[in-house]
Amino acid sequence: AGAAAQPQVRIPTQERVLAGTPTQVFAIGTEEGRSWEMFSTVQQLAFDRSDNLYVLDRGNTRVLVFDRTGRFVRQVGKKGDGPGELQVPMSIAVLADGTLAVSDLAHRNLSLYGPDGAFRRSIPYGEDLGMFGREMYPHPAGGVVGFSRPLGERGGSGRITRQNSLTRLPLTGASTALFRIPEVVNVQTTGSTPNRQMRMEMARIFSPRTAWGVLPDGSLAVAHTNGYTVKIVGPDGRERRWVQRPMRTRLTTEADRENFRERRRREP
């Protein structure tokens, strides 16, 4: 019923090889060097309108900025609990005016920095957004759109369906869930206390992955199924059309599972 209700744009099944050879513009990072040359868990990259590169160096709790030639410009943020300091940075987004937004899971806020790297203010978000900002992109009308996953679920072991969402968080006003994405996970309870429950979650091996982005008009492009389909979701949260490749999916076989397990065993 959903497929019949949406205008569908068909694109070719045949792959098309892109012409040309990639050219390296610059390279950053080294095993031994100055502080800004050594990274620990690069979580995300972003560019501003001047082609400056922003590197979320999550392991070192900071954002590093490089210009279009790869020259180091500045460090933004550091570990701590004071204004403009970070604890668990999840993602970054560079807004149209050059403002850098950093989502911090521990502080449960967005830290905003000016184009010069100076801290401006924080925007707190509530428990209803769960683990907000695992991925985050600027919204053309202001603020950011982030992937939000619920926190604090309780219950026994087994298979559960979680409702994730793509949520817009403006710089002023309330957040809005633009699109909801179900996720099936296997949960095993490993221990509990009167106030805490320890659980281990295991994603299903062949579960569909979510890929998404924000379009220039504020719409979202979302792929979250096993089909070759990208859903275009308007700023109002309604699905406008589907972009599809005419390719059929098939059920996973035991041979597929064994091939996967063998690849994993061979990985270093």
pLDDT digits (tens, 9 = 90+) for 227-254: 889 999 998 889 999 999 888 888 888 9
Predicted local distance difference test score (pLDDT) of residue 152:
61
- Higher-confidence residue of 94 and 200: namely 94
Q: What is the 3-state secondary structure (H, E, C) of the chain?
A: CHHHHCCEEECCCCCCCCCCCCCCCCCCCCCCCCHHHCCCCEEEEEECCCCCEEEEEHHHCEEEEECCCCCEEEEECCECCCCCCECCEEEEEECCCCCEEEEECCCCEEEEECCCCCEEEEEECCHHHCEEEEEEEECCCCCEEEEEECCCCCCCCEEEEEEEEEEEECCCCCCEEEEEEEEEEEEEEEEECCCCEEEEEEECCCCCCCEEEECCCCCEEEECCCCCEEEEECCCCCEEEEEECCCCCCCCCHHHHHHHHHHHHHCC
Supply the mean pLDDT for the chain: 89
When pLDDT is cut at 50, 70 and 90, the band that residue 261 belongs to is confident
Structure tokens at 130: 């769960």
Structure tokens at 205: 């091996």
Residue 138 pLDDT > 90: yes
When pLDDT is cut at 50, 70 and 90, the band that residue 197 belongs to is low
What is the mean predicted confidence (pLDDT) over 155-160?
71
Residue 2 pLDDT > 70: no
Lowest mean pLDDT among 47-56, 118-127, 147-156: 147-156
Predicted local distance difference test score (pLDDT) of residue 1:
42
Predicted local distance difference test score (pLDDT) of residue 205:
72
What is the mean predicted confidence (pLDDT) over 36-50?
94
Q: Please choose, from the candidates 230, 223, 227, 228, the residue with its C-alpha nearest in 3D space to the C-alpha of residue 209.
A: 223
Which residue type is seen at 80? G
pLDDT digits (tens, 9 = 90+) for 171-184: 988 899 999 998 87
